[in-house]
A and B are shown apart, each in its own frame.
Chain A
Amino acid sequence: MALVVAENVVKTYCTGDIEVNAIKGADFKIEPASFVSFVGPSGSGKSTLLNMIGCLDHPSSGKLSVAGTDISTLNRQSSARFRGDNIGFIFQDFNLIPVLTIEENIEYPLLMVQDWPASKRKARINELLEAVDISAQAKKYPHQLSGGQKQRVAVARALATHAKLILADEPTANLDHDTAYRIIDLMKSMRNEYESTFIFSTHDPKIMDAAEIIYTLEDGKLLQQQGGTNHD
């Protein structure tokens, strides 16, 4: 069963009196454990689509289901619960909580969202710290880390709750090329290890090639689906 199913998804915004069609009837299916990229120029609708898949926004019309749940039926609380249970986020600016250490940042969704017992949390944090190779930084605070290290922490945090789906909106935009590739490699290896589905947006052609499936968006329209050229 597909993890994400979009059927004629439309998203329309109203900016004052002007109606903006951000997504104009998108249809696609994403299977579990896929490594998918949405590409397109700025304003093409990548972030809007990711926000809807991430249950942060609702389609204006059409049907969008994630992990078997029609997300347009969820209210604010249910959306939050659904995100906490099923979705992990990686942000362009890392968005780590500055007052928490690295291990506490990874612990946050386990404690504040899913309320795991302490022993399980500890084991999971150690596992992820090793998986993303930042065990040595566990007690540091985000401001003491480089951009690449921060994004590694963000990947670990997104994976902490065994999320089925990891959404990354321009995860490499604030990183130099080498670091960006290493982060994409890390995301892919995490997909291989934990079998979570990774969906990321990018406008960097080299980065998008790392994806197994690439959806191209232009002016709100999903133009084509193609396979990446750099599959494992």
Chain B
Amino acid sequence: MTKLIKIAARNLFRYRRRTVLTTLLITIGVIAMLLFVSTSGSFKSMMVGQITDSMLGHFQIHKKGYVSSIDSLPLTMNMKPKMYEKAEQFLSERDDIEAWSPRIKFGAMFSNYAETTNIRLNGVDPEKEIATCPELPKRIIAGSSESLVKRGHILVPELIAKGLKVKPGDGIVLVATNRDGSVNGINFIVQGVLEGISGPGGRDGYLHIKDARELLRIEGNEISEIAVRLKQASSLKKTMADLSGTMGVLKNQKGKPAFEIHGWNKLSPFSNIAKMIDLMTLFINIMLVSIVLISVMNVMIMAVYERIREIGTIAAMGTQPDAILKLFISEGLLLGILGAVIGTSLSLIIIFILQQSEITFSFGRQTGLVLYPVIDLPQILIASAMVIVVAALASVQPAWKASKMDPIEALRHV
């Protein structure tokens, strides 16, 4: 086999220019694929991380039916204290959950005493919220992030802060309608301004959960949702499935499960962008496969055509057809290996340079996002294996033709 590989390598070296061009083509394909996977993957994980770590948590638990009417933030669909207690009980029994944060979500009128606008608000327990969304304090672009949000204070979304020209330390008033229709208003101090991010909840304000209860005149631990953070984000599907099973035993009056559980991907439109990135990765993979398939097949067809007499000679000497088959497949395989190795090496160098360059980009209203491409070993192995296998497969037809050649016809070939 070593000798076969040696002969195959020398045959490739014989047609240097063609081998170099084909290897270059495969190399470019591998680089394009790995760079795309690393940059899009880093963009995806950054955006997903931002969404889960500063806004949504990994998944959320609501009362059945809440999510379908989430746009109107209905207080009538809140979980009652007993229901929340049950949910906490289920969550506390699991060791794959790091933290959870109860929230009261509602809409209110926000006034700086001169102008008024609508605002969506989250009433949160600061400690629990930070444990569940540890990146949330980093979104505070002005003011204090101390204990996230203190009693009597509010974190104002960037858009409203700019629109109504409020800044940390300013006084504002929130007016909200409670579930019974009565209206209440309370004065708050602006503690900070929150950077807006893409997706639902990305432009919400925050206040202490006790202040929210006071404003809405809610008694007891009634909440709108529970945001949950997992120890390992990769266990999302399993944990959700397990919890759906265990929590599903609790039924509402209609006999349906009392709770509903939604992963971040069901709550954020970014999941569609993530799907598009995955789809584009698939297309890039298909392109790479096509490049390798066509270029290697072309080279191997040429190689067989140009070496017909040589094939006849080795066949006449007694070389078995399967050895001839292996010889040509080895040549294709070597082309694939060469392209994969060079492509991967160059990709890693380029990725390293991109990491050091700290290129920034904008997404939606977010600016200054740092592009930090990362590629992991399984992705490299998958890309390399794909190239090598496709290169070998592309050689099969020409190699098969060579192995089936009639030695007399081959020796006669001019």
A31 to B240, CA, bound (A): 86
> Which chain B residues in 175-196 approach chain A with CB under 8 Å?
none
Contacts of B10 in A (CB 8 A): 99-100
B7→A99 contact, CB < 8 A: yes
Interface check B321, CB cutoff 8 A: yes
- Whether B3 and A54, one on each chain, are in contact in the complex, defined by CB atoms closer than 8 angstroms, is no
Q: Does B238 belong to the interface (CB within 8 Å)?
A: no
**A80 partner, pick from B313, B319, B411, beta carbons under 8 A:** B319
Cross-chain contact A112 with B13 (CB below 8 angstroms): no
B317 to chain A minimum Cβ distance, whole angstroms, is 5
B88 within 8 A of A: no
Asked if B320 is at the interface (CB within 8 A of a chain A CB), the reply is: yes
A56-B411, A57-B408, A77-B321 known; 4 other A-B pairs, CB under 8 Å?
A80-B321, A84-B319, A112-B3, A157-B317
- Are A97 and B314 CB-contacts (below 8 A) given A56-B407, A91-B411? yes
Q: CB within 8 Å of B: which of A79-95?
A: 80-85, 87-89, 91, 93, 95
Point out which of B7, B10, B318, B408 has the most chain A C-beta atoms below 10 A from its C-beta.
B318
Which residue of chain A is the closest to B309 with respect to CB atoms?
A95
Interface assignment of A108: CB less than 8 Å from any CB of chain B = yes
Judge whether B83 is part of the interface by a CB distance below 8 angstroms.
Answer: no
Say which size band chain B's interface belongs to. Answer: 20 to 34
Which A residues have a C-beta under 8 Å from some C-beta of B? 51, 54, 56-57, 76-77, 80-85, 87-89, 91, 93, 95, 97-100, 108-109, 111-114, 157
In the complex the two chains form, what is the Cα distance from A174 to B390 in whole Å? 43
Complexed CA–CA distance, A169 and B407 (Å): 14
Residues of B bordering A, CB below 8 Å: 3-4, 7, 10-11, 13-14, 309-310, 312-321, 323, 407-408, 411
Residue among A84, A93, A99 with the most chain B CB within 10 A?
Answer: A99
* Cβ-defined contact, A89 with B14, below 8 A: no
- The reply to whether A112 and B408 contact each other, CB–CB distance below 8 Å, is no
Residue of B310, B317, B319, B321 ringed by the most chain A CB atoms within 10 A: B317
**Chain B residues within an 8 Å CB radius of A57:** 408
For A88, list chain B residues within 8 Å (CB): 317
| Shortest Cβ distance from residue A88 to the other chain B in the assembled complex, whole angstroms | 8
- Given contacts A91-B411, A100-B10, whether A84 and B313 have CB atoms under 8 Å apart is no
**Taking CB as reference atom, which chain B residue is nearest A113?**
B318
**Docked-complex contact B14 and A112, CB < 8 angstroms:** no
| Least CB separation from B312: chain A residue | A95
Q: A83-B317, A99-B11 are in contact. Are A111 and B3 (CB under 8 A)?
A: yes
CB contact under 8 A between A108 and B316, given known A51-B408, A56-B407:
no
Residues from chain A with a CB closer than 8 A to the CB of B411 are: 56, 91, 95
Q: Are B14 and A109 in contact (CB-based, < 8 A)?
A: no
Are B318 and A83 within 8 A (Cβ)?
A: yes
List the B side residues contacting A114 at CB < 8 Å: 318
B378 to chain A, nearest CB (A): 37
